[in-house]
């Protein structure tokens, strides 16, 4: 077994973030896990928990070790509205949580990441950034910005720190609960995908593990799409 690594997981209380924490803990890695709801996370067994809200003033405290092997930034939004009903505040909130929060966290973590021999940053986008979906204007704009940010950062931080982005389709998490609140909604959402199923947080956590680990050391600046084939496959 390889030596344990130390990772910062931002937004690790629920959904994909919680799945990432469980999977990395099972691998024996050390985790600093942040959330605006820290009481939902069990500390101990390699997990240190910190209260941190990516929408709050940048002066809030974030305690990091001298060296970090990776950062996983999980906070996200699903803002679904007709464009004519969207306000500037809708766009600003999506940018704040998805992009600006990631920028702030990575800037704070960068000195510790640079001390690692080969660190990895994992960001999250959405299928909405690459596939035109109605009622997704603000989240598509924010996630498109995340993808551009990730590619630029990958170029700037190479060769020591890798940066990759995961862009899932609808995944069975609390964030998506309003879209999956009945068997009919779940079946309809699954049927939209060529693979006829919804995303599983555990599968995404496995992909995060690949991007954090040694098997992906020749990969940076990429957008990986666990989306059931929705962005690239058409069934006739």
Q: How confident is the model at residue 100 (pLDDT cuts 50, 70, 90)?
A: very high
Element housing 138 (H / E): helix 137-157
The pLDDT value given to residue 169: 94
Give yes or no for a contact between 20 and 208, defined as CB atoms under 8 angstroms apart.
yes
- The region of weakest confidence among 40-49, 93-102, 144-153 is 40-49
The confidence score (pLDDT) of residue 42 equals 87
236 vs 68: CA distance, rounded Å: 47
In eight-state DSSP terms, residue 44 is B
Query: Given this model, what pLDDT does residue 74 score?
Result: 97
**pLDDT over threshold 80, residue 1:** no
Region 70-83 average pLDDT: 95
Count CB atoms within 10 A of the CB of residue 151: 17
Find, among 82, 187, 65, 173, the residue nearest to 124 by Cα.
173
CA 74 to CA 227: how far, in whole Å?
17
Q: Can you give the pLDDT at residue 44? A: 86
- Given a cut of 90, whether residue 3 has pLDDT beyond it is no
| pLDDT attached to residue 177 | 80
The mean pLDDT value of the chain amounts to: 94
pTM of the model: 0.95
Orientation of helix 137-157 relative to helix 88-95, angle to 10°: 30
The pLDDT tens digits for 19-40 are 999 999 999 999 999 999 999 9
**Sheet strands (E) in the chain:** 6-10, 30-35, 47-51, 70-73, 119-124, 161-166, 223-224
Q: What percent of the chain has pLDDT over 90?
A: 83
Assign 60 a pLDDT band (cuts: 50, 70, 90).
confident
Say if residue 236's pLDDT is above 80.
no
- Residue 91's pLDDT is 97
Span 55-74, mean pLDDT?
91
pLDDT exceeding 70 applies to what percent of the chain? Answer: 99
């Amino acid at each position: 077994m390889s030596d344990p690594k130390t990772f910062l997981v931002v937004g690790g209380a629920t959904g994909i973030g919680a799945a990432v924490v469980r999977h990395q803990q099972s691998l024996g890695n050390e985790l600093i896990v942040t959330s605006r709801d820290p009481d939902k996370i069990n500390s101990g067994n390699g997990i240190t928990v910190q209260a941190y809200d990516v929408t709050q003033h940048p002066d809030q405290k974030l305690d990091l070790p001298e060296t970090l092997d990776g950062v996983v930034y999980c906070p996200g939004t699903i803002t679904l509205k007709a464009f004519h009903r969207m306000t500037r505040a809708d766009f600003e909130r999506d940018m704040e949580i998805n992009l600006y929060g990631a920028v702030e966290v990575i800037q704070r973590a960068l000195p510790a990441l640079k001390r690692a021999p080969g660190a990895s940053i994992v960001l999250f986008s959405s299928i909405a950034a690459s596939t035109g979906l109605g009622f997704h204007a603000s989240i598509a704009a924010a996630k498109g910005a995340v993808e551009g940010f990730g590619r630029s950062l990958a170029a700037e931080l190479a060769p020591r720190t890798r940066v990759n982005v995961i862009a899932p389709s609808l995944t069975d998490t609390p964030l998506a609960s309003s879209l999956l609140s009945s068997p009919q909604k779940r079946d309809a959402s699954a049927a939209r995908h060529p693979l006829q199923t919804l995303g599983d947080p555990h599968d995404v956590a496995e992909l995060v593990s690949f991007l954090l680990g040694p098997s992906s050391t020749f990969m940076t600046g990429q957008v990986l799409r666990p989306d059931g084939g929705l962005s690239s496959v058409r069934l006739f």
